[in-house]
Chain A
Amino acid sequence: MFIVIFILIIPLFSFVINALLSSGKATFGSYCSVALLLLSTLGAIHVLFFIETKVLTSQVDWFSVGDQSFKVGLLVDFQGAVMLAVVSLISLLVHLYSIVYMAQDSGYGRYFATLSLFTFAMNGIVLSNNLLMIFLFWELVGLSSYLLIGHWYTKTSASEAAKKAFIVNRIGDAGFIVALCIVWCQFGSFNLIDIQSQMEASQIQNGYWSSELNALPKVWLSILGIGFFLAAVGKSAQFPLQVWLPDAMEGPTPVSALIHAATMVAAGVFLMSRVFVLLDGLTLSIIAFIGALTAFMGGVAALAQFDIKKVLAYSTISQLGYMLMGIGVGAYEAALFHLFTHAFFKAALFLAAGSVIHSMHEIAHKNHLELDAQDMRLMGGLKSKLPVTFYAYLVGSFALMGLPLFSGFLSKDALLIASVNWSYQIGNVAYLIPSLAFVTVLLTSFYMVRQLLLVFFGRPRIEISDLREFGWHFKLPLIVLSVFSLGLIWSLNPFDYSHSWFLAALPGKLNVTPEFDVVIPDLTNHALVGVISVILVALGTGLAWLKFRPGRELMLSKTGQFTLLENLSLNNWYLDVIYEKTVLRIVRVSTSALAVLETRVIDRAVNLLGWVGVVFSFLLRWFDQTIVDGLIKFSAFFSSQVGGMTKSFQYGKVQSFIIFALVSLLLLIFLIL
């Protein structure tokens, strides 16, 4: 357990170092981070090797409210250990890569501090043993994502994108909070293991869902699941909240690789696997549908993009859709498998894209050109100039497309088979989901081949003769990530995911929701699905080759006319426009109405209240000055008069004393007589 706490704390330590160091020592700080993360990665790998099927957990009291005590604790199981290793390793590589990538940046120290903070928060999500802590770390990754997207905050587009990501994620978090409330109400505990055992013990009878503690109408179970799913929709950029992820590409490219491709966006999928026991049939169906739809929409949106990072961003959305579809059809282990393989090949793609962008910047800088370094229409022929980048990109693309021998094939195969078998059992509309998934395979291979052709093949479209690849800081992460994108790493038989060490180690059936049985993906249609997907990949590749083969200069002019489909794709299904026209307009109208209400009614009421207060205080002042002060002044005056009168008795005029004495004596005599 000690080593796990150690792994969790190290990135925080690295954050503190980088945050406290002055900017002059930032380089030293970044190397410190790399060294610390190397330690934590080694620790995570060590944990991964000894964990096997064990579940380690440990908790201590955090605070208590009344007689309810809240705990902080850690939970390490196999999936957590794999996730921990993946996060640590990719974070290490991205830190290393960033040393060169961000070298000329003024916010160098800030960048590394935030990157380490993110790693800490992500480890926190993975290792937390209760939902409340997961929520806290969930918000913390959201914050660090916000900070990193807005790293170049002087750029309007970057700060806008950061705000967009943050606000869109808030919508998802509202769902998370609702789900947390229901969990607490029903189980009185946030502990994941507790929840699982209590869920097993709970029953659904007569439309009521009853646990040991409480009974709620059955619909609350679905609301609970949908709440968690909403959180995942926000974080994992699913339809209809996927609009923030393409904009998040405003951040530095290594950040996109770590946060917006490999780890944070996958946190939604990881969360779904953590709360998988709480998902009922309705919720799972919704998840499957939204996942497949997002996969398809993301695939379409990636088709016609010209920004090298945007293509990858939409492809990330699409792949995340696959993962959630996997959750939805009950194949949570396949979804996690795809999460891990995707993390490596997508990080490889992003870092390779970063290398390309960095080189384009160099060219622009050397030749004093004003150009958009991310525009693929300006690239081309980079294959011979950036060989390591090219091969990393190639391996990453093949894995993403799902070619046999690469990691993506195994995980995508598992997901596709699960969805096919699931739809066989459900029937009817359910066939839509594997269909969308298969179409997405075609789309994926199309846009990836298109991108490869545009960036690396053909004639250079600008002068690149003096271009050189960057040093080992760039090459090492690319090579490591490419190696992890090979199928052999994940399964000894690269054509059959069922031989994978990862799936073998995961516990099989996890679903304990009463009255609902999850479909266990079997190998019934294995060969068929594999063949179909390979044919679709080949088809997509062929189409892309026909359209973008070297020598053809289609669609390369910036002012060119686009077809309807291309426009649809370029604008991401016009989702931003739709939101602008609907949600944002409603918000704007209602806020301006509220503003009117504010100025006309509330402000006036407040002003009136102030005016009444002023008048009242004037009255009070008069009362004070005349009555209260008068009383006091009168008593003072009275006593001074009395004092003045009595003072003469002792004034020192001896003769007047005698007169007083005499008069008093006479009075006394008169009184007595």
Chain B
Amino acid sequence: MIPVEHFYYISAVLFSVGLAVVLTRKNAIMVLIGIELMLNASNLNFLASNTSEDPEGQFFALFVIVVAAAEAAVGLAIILKVYKYFKTIDLDKIAEIKD
């Protein structure tokens, strides 16, 4: 039996990687992927804390997967529009407020 702490460690590492991706990558799609990573880290966390007496973790994980799917759809649509408008999806270049 794998001790439950390992799931937490993996989850934390996965969240950190996701966060790092969100913060460092300039490509909007990569940022979206980072967000997906963070969502999956939280899923892992929910499932790890899930017990047979208390199955709330599973429900939340299902919600998160649904939300993630919706988020991916909306996010990709936004990115598509942003690309059409700015001709780039580099996050540093799509600022409208100048100095």
Q: Say yes or no for A367: interface residue by CB 8 A criterion.
A: no
- Chain B proximity mask over A648-671: 1 for CB below 8 Å, otherwise 0: 001111110011001000000000
Chain A nearest Cβ from B18, distance in angstroms: 12
CB-defined contacts of A658 to chain B, threshold 8 Å: 22-23
Binding-face segment, B4-12, B42-50, B59-67, B90-98: B90-98
Q: Are B97 and A654 in contact (CB under 8 A)?
A: no
CB-defined contacts of A647 to chain B, threshold 8 Å: 97, 99
Q: Are A653 and B91 in contact (CB under 8 A)?
A: yes
Contact residues, B66-99 vs A (CB, 8 A): 91-92, 94-97, 99
Q: Are B19 and A653 in contact (CB under 8 A)?
A: no
Q: Are B92 and A653 in contact (CB under 8 A)?
A: yes
Interface of B is mostly: helix
Question: Complex: how many Å from CA A653 to CA B99?
Answer: 12
CB-defined contacts of A662 to chain B, threshold 8 Å: 19, 23
Q: Are A655 and B95 in contact (CB under 8 A)?
A: no
CB-defined contacts of A655 to chain B, threshold 8 Å: 22-24, 31, 91
Residue of A647, A650, A655 ringed by the most chain B CB atoms within 10 A: A655
CB-defined contacts of B23 to chain A, threshold 8 Å: 655, 658-659, 662
Chain B: CB-nearest residue to A656: B23
- Chain A proximity mask over B15-27: 1 for CB below 8 Å, otherwise 0: 0000100111000
CB-defined contacts of A652 to chain B, threshold 8 Å: 94-97
Q: Are A651 and B22 in contact (CB under 8 A)?
A: no
Contact residues, A33-87 vs B (CB, 8 A): none
Question: Complex: how many Å from CA A194 to CA B22?
Answer: 110
Q: Number of A interface residues, CB 8 Å? A: 10
Chain B nearest Cβ from A15, distance in angstroms: 79
Chain A: CB-nearest residue to B99: A647
Category for how many chain B residues contact A = 10 to 19
Question: Complex: how many Å from CA A662 to CA B22?
Answer: 12
Chain A nearest Cβ from B30, distance in angstroms: 11
Chain B nearest Cβ from A414, distance in angstroms: 110
Q: Are B19 and A654 in contact (CB under 8 A)?
A: no
CB-defined contacts of B22 to chain A, threshold 8 Å: 655, 658
Chain B nearest Cβ from A91, distance in angstroms: 90
Chain A nearest Cβ from B14, distance in angstroms: 17
Contact residues, A622-673 vs B (CB, 8 A): 647, 650-655, 658-659, 662
Chain B: CB-nearest residue to A650: B97
CB-defined contacts of B31 to chain A, threshold 8 Å: 654-655
Chain A nearest Cβ from B34, distance in angstroms: 10
Q: Are B19 and A651 in contact (CB under 8 A)?
A: no
CB-defined contacts of B91 to chain A, threshold 8 Å: 653-655
Question: Complex: how many Å from CA A654 to CA B92?
Answer: 8
Question: Complex: how many Å from CA A658 to CA B38?
Answer: 14
Question: Complex: how many Å from CA A650 to CA B94?
Answer: 13
Question: Complex: how many Å from CA A427 to CA B24?
Answer: 135
Chain B: CB-nearest residue to A659: B23
Question: Complex: how many Å from CA A257 to CA B19?
Answer: 120
Chain A: CB-nearest residue to B91: A654
Question: Complex: how many Å from CA A659 to CA B24?
Answer: 10
Chain A nearest Cβ from B71, distance in angstroms: 15
Question: Complex: how many Å from CA A654 to CA B95?
Answer: 9
Chain A nearest Cβ from B16, distance in angstroms: 11
CB-defined contacts of B24 to chain A, threshold 8 Å: 655
Question: Complex: how many Å from CA A662 to CA B31?
Answer: 15
Chain A: CB-nearest residue to B19: A662
Chain B: CB-nearest residue to A654: B91
Chain A: CB-nearest residue to B93: A652
CB-defined contacts of B99 to chain A, threshold 8 Å: 647
Question: Complex: how many Å from CA A651 to CA B95?
Answer: 7
Question: Complex: how many Å from CA A655 to CA B95?
Answer: 11
Question: Complex: how many Å from CA A229 to CA B84?
Answer: 110
CB-defined contacts of A654 to chain B, threshold 8 Å: 31, 91
Chain A nearest Cβ from B85, distance in angstroms: 13
CB-defined contacts of A653 to chain B, threshold 8 Å: 91-92, 95
Chain B nearest Cβ from A526, distance in angstroms: 119
CB-defined contacts of A651 to chain B, threshold 8 Å: 95, 97
Chain A nearest Cβ from B67, distance in angstroms: 19
CB-defined contacts of A659 to chain B, threshold 8 Å: 23
Question: Complex: how many Å from CA A651 to CA B31?
Answer: 18
Chain A: CB-nearest residue to B95: A652
Chain B nearest Cβ from A625, distance in angstroms: 30
CB-defined contacts of B19 to chain A, threshold 8 Å: 662
CB-defined contacts of B97 to chain A, threshold 8 Å: 647, 650-652
Question: Complex: how many Å from CA A651 to CA B96?
Answer: 8
Chain A nearest Cβ from B88, distance in angstroms: 13
CB-defined contacts of B96 to chain A, threshold 8 Å: 652
Chain A nearest Cβ from B32, distance in angstroms: 12
Chain A: CB-nearest residue to B92: A653
Chain B nearest Cβ from A332, distance in angstroms: 101
Question: Complex: how many Å from CA A647 to CA B99?
Answer: 8
Residue of A647, A654, A659, A662 ringed by the most chain B CB atoms within 10 A: A654
Question: Complex: how many Å from CA A647 to CA B97?
Answer: 9
CB-defined contacts of B95 to chain A, threshold 8 Å: 651-653
Question: Complex: how many Å from CA A650 to CA B24?
Answer: 19
Contact residues, A145-167 vs B (CB, 8 A): none
Question: Complex: how many Å from CA A541 to CA B31?
Answer: 140
Chain A nearest Cβ from B68, distance in angstroms: 18
Question: Complex: how many Å from CA A618 to CA B24?
Answer: 58
Question: Complex: how many Å from CA A484 to CA B31?
Answer: 129
Question: Complex: how many Å from CA A245 to CA B43?
Answer: 127
- Other A-B contacts than A651-B95, A654-B31, 4 sampled, CB-CB below 8 A, are A647-B97, A651-B97, A652-B94, A662-B23
16 interchain pairs, CB-CB under 8 A: A647-B97, A650-B97, A651-B95, A651-B97, A652-B94, A652-B97, A653-B92, A654-B31, A654-B91, A655-B22, A655-B24, A655-B31, A658-B22, A658-B23, A659-B23, A662-B19
Interface residues in chain B, defined as those with a beta carbon under 8 Å from any beta carbon in chain A = 19, 22-24, 31, 91-92, 94-97, 99
6 tightest CB-CB pairs across the interface, nearest first? Answer: A652-B95, A652-B97, A654-B91, A655-B23, A651-B97, A651-B95
